[in-house]
Amino acid sequence: MPRERRLKDNQIIQILCRSDDAVAIYTGEEILIEVANPAMQAAWGRDASVIGLTLSEALPEIEDQPFLGMLQEVWRTGIDNVGTAIPAELLVDGKLQHYYFDYAYRAVKDENGQVYAIFHTARDVTEKVNDREELKVAREREELLEREQALNEELAAANEELFATNEDLSAAQERLRILNQELEDRVDERTAELSRSESRLRYLLSDAPVAIAVLRGRELIVESANKMVLNAWGKTDEIIGKTLPEAIPELDGQEFLGILDAVYTEGEPFYGSEVKALLRQNGRLEEVYFNFVYQPIKDEAGKTNGIMITASIVTEQVFGRNQVQHLNEELIAINEELNESQDLLMSTNLDLKASEMRLDKIISELPVPVVVLMGPDQIIATTNEALLKYWDRTKEEVTGKTMLQVFPELKSQPYPDLWKRVLAGEGSVASIEIPVTYKDKLEGTERSFYIDYHCQALTDLGGNNVGVISTILDVTEKVRSRKQIEKAEAQLRLAIESSELGTWYIDVITREFKPSRRLKQIFGFYEEEDMLYDATTNQILDEYRQLVTEAVDHAILNGTSYDMEYPIKGFRDGAIRWVRATGKLYGEDANGHASFSGTVQNITQRKLEEQRKDDFLSIASHELKTPITTLKGALQLLNRYKDNLSSAIVPRLIEQANGSVEKITNLIDDLLNTTRTNEGQLHLNLSTFIVSKLLDDCCQHVRIGGKHDLIVQGDLQLEVEADEARIDQVVVNLVNNATKYAPDSRKIYLLIEDLGHLARVSVRDSGPGIPEEKIPHLFDRYYRADYGGAQYSGLGLGLYISAEIIKRHNGEIGVESKPGEGSTFWFTVPKKVG
């Protein structure tokens, strides 16, 4: 419940008027000041006397300022007017000063919306604004300072550049100065040279054996004249500087001045030949003949400004010719006489000509190339169509020329010499199938020919050799094809020889049998012996003979060929050889002969190899079956004992199984080694080791077996660089052989020897020894000493592989053995590789 207020309205007004903010209330269009509190008064710089005055009365200085208008606007429109930091100029302390005000003119309305008062509040924000202004100014100043600084720095940089450029400039200037100096020096030099050459020229000109004069200008001022020209003109050098007409008055009336003027005008040189001039020489007017040139001298613009005269006196020649003319006339008279005698000759000539023409005709129609060469130079006098075709030339190209002119390539060939000799009278030449080489007319490539050539001397009436006549027959084709056939035949012969084929030939009708030398050889005949056809069948081994003869008959009957392999027995030596024979029936050839012919090839080696390989394979499979049998047996027995694995027999069986697998592996390795050595793939792992140690460690299976003692002797320290595993293989092989083939030899000796740069190891037993005939084959592939009976187990590869290994080491392997005296197998290897 609001209490009763104690203050009266005017007290309230008083209190409110004490606000620090300026407050004023106006009424009416004239803006009467109803209230203005002390703050407002202070702001205006007035006192309370302004209350009751209009604003313009109270503050006349605001007349030009917008406040009045704004207040009146508010009164009229009723719209408040509020502003911040509005500048105003007020008279304070007698001075017009700048102020800023935040102000509000608020329209006070009654219930009807009518404005009845304006409430004006204002705050003096001059200081604030000023501060703000100052701040803005200060900031701007700062910015300016910064920019100035930046500009300064740029300036400094630019200055440096400028300085640098300046330096460059002065350097360049210096260079320029130097260049200038050089240029001037050069110019000086050039000028000096020029004057030197000028004086040289002048000197030359003056003494030249040709008359030379230089005239300047249209007036033809004599600028220079050399001795010759002065002589010719009959003048001295006092004419220099005068015009030509002045210098040589007698020229007046002669053409020369006119010509000179024309040359000057046209700018074109004039050449005169044997022109007569009348010149005063030695007081007399003489006739002088000149060959001369008037050459216009032009300036840089191309305009003629002078003429150079060069002339030579030809007076004597002209006179001389006149004389000749005289003589000529005499000659003509003599000629007439001659002509008469010539007519006489002519008739004699005609007869000759006729016969010559006949000869020509005959020659030209010959289908054989013929050429007549006259004289020691072999001038081509007569040719015919056939010859021109052979030479690939036309008649015009060759007639009248020498042979060597047309065919210089013949120079290095025997023909020029041949012609000379025939011409010299050494007799005619006839050669068959001699070579000649011409160069192709257009391309210059060489064309070779073979020719039959006949050349004989041509004599005149007096019996003298005046030329040669040759006929040429082109036999190139014939010779070429013959040579081709010869070549083919030689190739065939070579092929047959290199294949070592024997060949044979039977004429079907005459039954003539022709065996080649090789065929006889294969059948075991001596070369000079006769071999009859029957031999070819008789010598076939019995079991094959029928087969072969049947096949041959079949081939003959049906005209087919046969191709068979069969063994034959040598005629002389009885040796069995295997041959492959082919034969075919050939029908009638060009001579009407039908023939049966074929080839025979000695395939014994191959057959033996095949047989050995077959045997080897069967032995190999047999050998493999032995350890496989053991393996299978052991495993099957193990199967029986599988519920009783602790039985004593089980370890033994397992051992057997393993041992068998080992054996199988080794056998297969041997087989592989054989193939590998064939292909040259045997790779050596080199190391340096002591030989005696290897021998001590190897062949444990033999030592354990207890049947043999291995005794190592010799150089026990010897070291060698080789593939240790492979050498071990070789030693094991040799020792195994000893145990196999000399089972009763208790002691087996292993001897090590130092042979300088080779090391030698030998394995010696005291067994039965090896027969001499078997020794060469011991190291052959698939070979076993008792081959036919197939009695010894093992593949027979051991020695072959050992030999290959030793060979790979660049060593040697061999055996010394006599039946009953035991065997020593030895091998050597280089102590160091390479």
Partner 1 sequence: MVGYFLNLIPLKWAYWRHRFMKKRICVLEDSEEILEIIKIVLEDENYDVQGFGTVAAFMANYLNLKPDLCLLDVMLPDGNGIEVCEAIKKHPESAEIPVVVMTANSRMDKMRENCEANDFIAKPFDINDFANRINSLIFVNV
Q: What residues line the site for partner 1 (CB under 8 A)?
A: 618, 621-622, 625-634, 636-637, 640, 649, 652-653, 656, 659-660, 740, 743, 789-793
Nearer to partner 1, 302 or 788 (CB): 788
Among the listed residues 453, 373, 465, the one whose alpha carbon sits nearest the alpha carbon of residue 426:
465
Minimum CB distance to partner 1, residue 621 (Å): 8
Minimum CB distance to partner 1, residue 569 (Å): 25
For 359, 392, 525, the CA distances from 384, given in Å and listed in that order, are 11, 12, 63
Nearer to partner 1, 361 or 640 (CB): 640
What is the spatial distance between Cα 439 and Cα 633, in angstroms, rounded to a whole number?
91
Please give the full DSSP string across 120-188, using - where no structure is assigned.
EEEEE-HHHHHHHHHHHHHHHHHHHHHHHHHHHHHHHHHHHHHHHHHHHHHHHHHHHHHHHHHHHHHHH
Minimum CB distance to partner 1, residue 695 (Å): 25
Q: Are 593 and 507 in contact (CB under 8 A)?
A: yes
Q: Are 720 and 757 in contact (CB under 8 A)?
A: no
Minimum CB distance to partner 1, residue 644 (Å): 13
For residue 113, the SS3 value is coil
Nearer to partner 1, 449 or 792 (CB): 792
Please give the full DSSP string across 517-562, using - where no structure is assigned.
HHHHHHTT--TTS---HHHHHHTB-HHHHHHHHHHHHHHHHHT-EE
Q: Enter the DSSP assignment of 790.
A: T
Minimum CB distance to partner 1, residue 690 (Å): 34
Q: Are 605 and 586 in contact (CB under 8 A)?
A: no
For the record, the structure tokens of 520 come out as 């006889």
What is the spatial distance between Cα 399 and Cα 364, in angstroms, rounded to a whole number?
14
Helix 649-678, helix 604-640: angle, nearest 10: 160
Nearer to partner 1, 14 or 793 (CB): 793
Minimum CB distance to partner 1, residue 832 (Å): 41
What is the spatial distance between Cα 667 and Cα 620, in angstroms, rounded to a whole number?
8
Written as one letter, the residue type at 292 is F
Minimum CB distance to partner 1, residue 706 (Å): 13
Nearer to partner 1, 627 or 811 (CB): 627
Nearer to partner 1, 592 or 788 (CB): 788
Minimum CB distance to partner 1, residue 617 (Å): 10
Nearer to partner 1, 40 or 657 (CB): 657
Alpha helices in 413-470 (DSSP H): 415-424
Strands 709-714 and 747-754: parallel
Minimum CB distance to partner 1, residue 739 (Å): 11
Give the Cβ contact number of residue 468 at 10 Å.
Answer: 23
What is the spatial distance between Cα 752 and Cα 736, in angstroms, rounded to a whole number?
18
Nearer to partner 1, 587 or 789 (CB): 789
Nearer to partner 1, 77 or 793 (CB): 793
Alpha helices in 208-278 (DSSP H): 227-233, 244-247, 256-266
Q: Are 362 and 370 in contact (CB under 8 A)?
A: no
Helix 798-808, helix 724-741: angle, nearest 10: 150
Written as one letter, the residue type at 328 is N
Written as one letter, the residue type at 669 is D
Nearer to partner 1, 165 or 629 (CB): 629
Nearer to partner 1, 399 or 766 (CB): 766
Please give the full DSSP string across 361-425, using - where no structure is assigned.
HHHHH-SS-EEEEETTTTEEEEE-HHHHHHHT--HHHHTTSBHHHH-GGGGGSSHHHHHHHHHHT
Minimum CB distance to partner 1, residue 827 (Å): 26
Nearer to partner 1, 20 or 614 (CB): 614
Minimum CB distance to partner 1, residue 632 (Å): 4
For residue 342, the SS3 value is helix
Minimum CB distance to partner 1, residue 669 (Å): 19
Minimum CB distance to partner 1, residue 557 (Å): 37
What is the spatial distance between Cα 763 and Cα 809, in angstroms, rounded to a whole number?
19
24 forms bridges with which residues in the sheet? 36, 120
Nearer to partner 1, 297 or 624 (CB): 624
816 forms bridges with which residues in the sheet? 824
Give the Cβ contact number of residue 683 at 10 Å.
Answer: 9
Among the listed residues 244, 286, 275, the one whose alpha carbon sits nearest the alpha carbon of residue 261:
244
Nearer to partner 1, 635 or 758 (CB): 635
Minimum CB distance to partner 1, residue 767 (Å): 12
